[in-house]
Structure 1
Amino acid sequence: MNWKVIYNEAYYKKAVKRAMEIFHAEPNTPEDDELGVLLLLIKDYEDKHYPLPQVDVLALIKDKMQEQGLKNKDLEPIIGSKGYVSSILSGRREITLSMAKKLKQFFNLPADVFMQV
């Protein structure tokens, strides 16, 4: 089948169904080529119609702290003084790029969590 840009839910479902049917296609076959096109079209449609929710970075950091049994003072080596940590966690100050890098490594978070607009 010659696939086109997906504009509606019915065509999207048809594309997803076909992608599932040929998901294990052998490399370098017509089905493999079709699967590649389908996956691009499906991703494009999903990006436009099913956006991922924005992550609240501060809530995520607080959740990670709770999971690991950490206190605000445990973030002082990463963020700075007690007051600065408090200001960051309360939302009165922004997380800097340097802090984001350190927090990313400390909590093993994906970098894109800190790149939201």
Structure 2
Amino acid sequence: MMDVRPLHNEQDYDWAIGEVSRYFETEPTLGTPDGDRFEVLSSLIKEYEDNHFATAHGDPVDVLHFAIESMGRSQAELAALIGRNRASEILNRVRPLTLEMIRIICKEWNIPVSALTGQYELGRAYG
């Protein structure tokens, strides 16, 4: 089937994300060859994420720490995406993630949106 393969490692995962992201601008019609490919790739990506990111899911701040420690990301990269003070405040549980921050981080770091939308506690009152 159209160069689709199992996702065994992070390189395979990155390849699949790149392939499926081409369909985001114009999602293919269901039942077409591109539609079938999109559906299969999306299923493979979801399965890979469920198996490899499951330990980090539940607490968005833990997911960010996991990305920094285990996925080759850095706090400086996070700061470049959302702002230096904001990155520090989020990682220290002082400030909550906003929807716009979640969108940016998920797009740039290929993190599933569901990994950053869970509720979590802040270390001190924000506001």
| TM-score, normalised by the number of residues in structure 2 | 0.44
| TM-score, normalised by the number of residues in structure 1 | 0.47
Q: Higher helix proportion, which one?
A: 1
Larger RCO: 1 or 2 (CA < 8 Å, sep 6+): 2
